[in-house]
Every structure is written in C-alpha cells, then in structure tokens.
Amino acid sequence: MKDFELTILGSNSALPAYGRFPTSQILRYDNELMLIDCGEGTQMRMSHYKIKRNKISVIFISHHHGDHLYGLPGVITSMNHSGRVLPLKVIGPKGIKKYLDVVFEIGEIHLNFDFSVIEIDNDALSIIYENDNIIVKSFPVYHRIPTYGYKFYEKQRPLNIRKECISQYNLSIEEIKLLKSGSNVEREEVTIKFEDCTIGHNSLRTYAYCADSIVNDSLIPIVEGSDLLYFETTYMHDLQVQARERGHATSVEAATLAKKAKVKKLITGHYSSRYKDVQPLVDEAKAVFDNVIMGYDGVVVSL
C-alpha cells in the first residue's frame, strides 16, 4: 500500500496568530505532492516541515479570500527561482487565472516551466483532476463567496490473478482479464468472484476537504464514508449565530456532520484568532464524534 498522508501547513483563519498560519495543506500520495489552499506563510511552513515544493504537481484553491490565496504568487515564483522544470497546474474558482495574470504582468514574471490554470464553476460533485493514482472531484460548499471543497479518491491498483485459480476454474484468457478488472465471472453453475481470485484489491482511501463553509446536510452524501474529513471549526458552539452570519461552522456542527456522514476521522482547523488554545474546540467536537484529530500546523495524518 502506498503512502497517503496529509500535512497541515497552516490551521488558523483570517490572521496568523499564536504560532498558527492561515490555511494550507499538503496531501502526499507516494512521491507526489498536492497543495490545498495557500494562505500567507505557506512557503515558510514548507521550509519548516521540509516540503520539497518542486515535487508539487497541482495546487487546489478553494476560494478567493486572502487567507487561502495570498501565499500563492510567492510559492509559484519560488519554484521558478529553484529551477523547476516540471509542469504545474493550479485549479480554483473562476477568477483565479485573472488574479495570477495580473500579478505576473505587474511583476514582469516569466516562468521557466509549463504552467496552466483550470477554473471550475460546477454546481455538483465533478471530476476536475486525474492522474495515475488519484481522482479529484470538486463540489460547492456554503460560504459568502463561491467556494469549493475537494474530494480525493485513491485509484484501484492493478489486480494480479492468483495462479492456483487459473487451474482450479480452468480460466480462459478473457475470464482472467475480467477478474483482473475487478469484475466477477458469471457461469451457469457458479459465480467466480474477483476477490477470491486476485491479489491487491485493497480498500480505496478517500480524503474530503471542506473549506470555509456552514454545515449543510446536502454535503453528507458527498463526504459520506471518507477515511478523513477536514471541516473548518472556526468557532465554539456558543458563537453559532455569528458563525452562520459569517459563513463558517462551529466545532459541534462539524462533528455532527462527521457523525451523520459516518466518516472514519474528522480533522479540525481554520480556528478564529480569538482562541489562543484550541483544545476546547476539539473537546466540543469529541463530545459529539469520537474520532477527532486536532488540526494544527505541523500535524501529519496518515490515511
């Protein structure tokens, strides 16, 4: 099984405070790095946690508020200075290309590597990125401006046939191909299950990232069953009214969503700068949902 892990680079909300930087995360699958949001200080955190920025293949931006975006030009131009040659893709809401075009034009920035931007404007769960190992789908969440969450799906690794099954069932070449594709072989007298005849059919892992958003039950079928769910916990529940007015969630609301969606783990984050100690937010969430991880700068979670 290949490594699949999340590193929190920044866990605070609008302002850096108490040693916490604004939102940014690195999702690593094997040797590929994907950057999720890019608040101020992201490249400083990359240096702190020894993240090799030139291994980042794609950057996902959830929305255009500064605490998720203002570190992006610096990260991209730093890649240029460090001799990057591999292509880079940025994916985000409509307007992200205009933002970067203006910054690059004013700064007379000329990149030495292939660079592309994909703007998304979907109103339902839709595939927006795919490579040999991962499929990524975006979906709208509920904030004050257009904002997207992302769900990362591990792809099934190729299955290998068990040699003893070839002779046991007298499998034809076409039947072997069918079993290796993850499909059963149907015969008149018996069903030959691919799980019994193949090696490598691991349970596929998923990570759901919900950026700034209020909790809405329409998100349940999207994040349902995820191995790891990140959902913002900006406020404690006594500030529920303020949270909703500002397009944010409380720790109790995020935990309630995690419980309803039957995810395996919930990771918290996007803490308001009013909280020097965020343990009470985590405790509130744990009172509702058992498996809560405190998202904090430097925390690494394996899926």
Catalytically annotated residue among 37, 67, 227, 297: 67
Q: How are beta strands 185-186 and 191-192 bridged, if at all? A: antiparallel
User: Which helix or strand (DSSP H or E) is residue 221 part of?
Assistant: helix 220-223
> Cβ(211)–Cβ(23) under 8 Å?
yes
Catalytic site includes residue 67: yes
Ramachandran quadrant class, 115 (left: phi over 0; alpha: psi -120 to 50; beta: rest): beta
Burial 195-225 (b: 16+ CB within 10 A, else e): eebbeeeeeebbbbbbbbbbbeeebeebbee
Find the largest Cα–Cα distance for the chain.
Answer: 72
- Rounded Cα gap, residues 114 and 107, in angstroms: 18
- Rounded Cα gap, residues 160 and 172, in angstroms: 15
Which residues does the annotation mark as catalytic?
Answer: 67
